[in-house]
């Protein structure tokens, strides 16, 4: 049973460990706290690996860690992996029973599966949010049990064919909607492969940068490498004696960085897509080719169709190709201006508020 009504509401958010999952959860929580002044407790439950722990600690949210495996494969392979999650389910059931939350919000990733199912068994309202255009396996499995389903894209509503779906968009931090681009004399590029980094993007960009510098192009670079490749890529920059470059494993204050950049080269996770859209930042998107159901490709296409981004597939990725595309944008700033305007067409400033209102509606009921 849920947290007693005469006590402060208790919200439990189950999320995968990447920044792309955690930051939307934080945005929803901030919207709840901003619009509803009553006391409440908010808990995040996530995995220890990745940037989640540091991010949540910095924002002051109570955090519970739970290790789960992923649900991978199809058919019998997927069933075997689901069976491997049984120990996680029992742990999840005990956690949810102990916390007795007023509501559970699942933000995707395999961890949210056992938490949301435990909530349903304990008669706790369960809401889920699907970031990607093509819904992930965990959320597809949870759909029949969810009281409400939030999706980022209109196309997802058509795919899921459920009556309790709300097209909310994907929540991003409010700062992304108030970015004023800083004018600089030097063309600035942000390179990132998601919070985990991408060796393929890292190496291709370094090769492109070497080509561009030899052509006499002056470029400033902010490069988020991911934790695993950080030292390798940092040393490569030093070997090439490249100036005007900032190399870091992870950027937490991404809105401040977006103010400075003319172009982003990135993977196409849902949070990245909506941050680019909110800030009106042009991008070259390189979808992760091994993503389940090619969901990054589908996310990228949504922004490309609006004219806010360009795709390079990883199989076609090279330093030469990247250098050619970057050169085109440097020589045609009018193209970048069009992309800035078009990218904003996907933005949903009200996304976090929509979800927050539904959360509080259920708590008050």
pLDDT score, position 115: 94
Equal CATH topology for 10-170+349-364 and 176-346: yes
- Which among 286, 293, 260 is positioned nearest to 272, based on CA atoms? 286
Contact by Cβ (8 Å): 104, 14: yes
The tokens 């492969």 sit on which residue?
193
Domain boundaries, the chain: 10-170+349-364, 176-346
pLDDT score, position 148: 96
pLDDT score, position 2: 55
Give CA torsion, residues 309, 313, 316, 321, to 10 deg.
20
CA distance 194 to 20: 8
Q: Write out residues in the chain with pLDDT < 70, as ranges.
A: 1-6, 68-85, 194-197, 365
CA distance 249 to 225: 5
pLDDT score, position 3: 54
The pTM is what? 0.89
**CATH number belonging to the domain at 176-346, selected among 3.40.1050.10, 3.40.50.2000, 3.20.20.80, 3.40.50.720:** 3.40.50.2000
pLDDT score, position 74: 52
Q: Is 333 exposed, middle or buried (0-12, 13-18, 19+ CB in 10 A)?
A: exposed
pLDDT score, position 261: 96
**CATH number belonging to the domain at 10-170+349-364, selected among 3.40.50.2000, 3.40.50.12280, 3.20.20.190, 3.40.50.300:** 3.40.50.2000
Tokens linked to 279? 């800030």
């Amino acid at each position: 049973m849920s947290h007693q009504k005469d006590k402060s509401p208790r919200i439990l958010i189950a999320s995968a460990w990447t920044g792309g999952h955690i930051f939307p959860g934080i945005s929803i929580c901030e919207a709840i706290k901003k619009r509803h002044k009553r006391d409440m407790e908010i808990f995040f439950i996530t995995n220890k690996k990745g940037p989640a722990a540091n991010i949540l600690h910095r924002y002051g949210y109570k955090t519970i860690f739970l290790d789960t495996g992923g649900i991978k494969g199809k058919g019998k392979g997927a069933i075997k992996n689901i069976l491997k999650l049984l120990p996680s389910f029992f742990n999840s059931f005990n956690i949810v029973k102990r916390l007795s939350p007023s509501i559970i919000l699942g933000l995707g990733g395999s961890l949210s599966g056992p938490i949301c199912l435990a909530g349903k068994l304990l008669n706790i309202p369960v809401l889920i949010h699907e970031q990607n255009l093509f819904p992930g396996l965990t959320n597809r499995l949870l759909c029949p049990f969810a009281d409400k389903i939030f999706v980022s894209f209109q196309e997802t509503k058509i795919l899921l064919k459920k009556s309790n779906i709300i097209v909310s968009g994907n929540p991003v931090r409010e700062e992304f909607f108030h970015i004023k681009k800083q004018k600089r004399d030097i063309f600035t590029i942000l390179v990132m492969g998601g919070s985990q980094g991408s060796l393929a993007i890292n190496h291709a960009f370094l090769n492109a940068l070497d080509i561009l510098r030899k052509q006499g192009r002056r470029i400033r670079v902010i490069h988020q490498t991911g934790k695993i490749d950080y030292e390798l890529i940092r040393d490569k920059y030093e070997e090439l004696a490249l100036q005007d470059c900032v190399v870091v494993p992870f950027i937490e204050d991404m809105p401040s960085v977006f103010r400075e950049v003319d172009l982003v080269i990135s993977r196409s996770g849902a949070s990245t897509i909506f941050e680019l859209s909110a800030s009106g930042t042009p991008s070259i998107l390189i979808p992760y080719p091994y993503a389940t159901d090619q969901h990054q490709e589908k996310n990228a296409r949504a922004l490309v169709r609006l004219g806010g981004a360009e795709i390079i597939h990883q199989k076609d990725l090279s330093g030469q190709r990247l250098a050619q595309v970057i050169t085109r944008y440097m020589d045609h700033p009018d193209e970048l201006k069009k992309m800035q305007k078009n990218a904003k067409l996907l933005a949903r400033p009200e996304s976090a508020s929509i979800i927050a209102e539904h959360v509080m509606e259920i708590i008050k009921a």
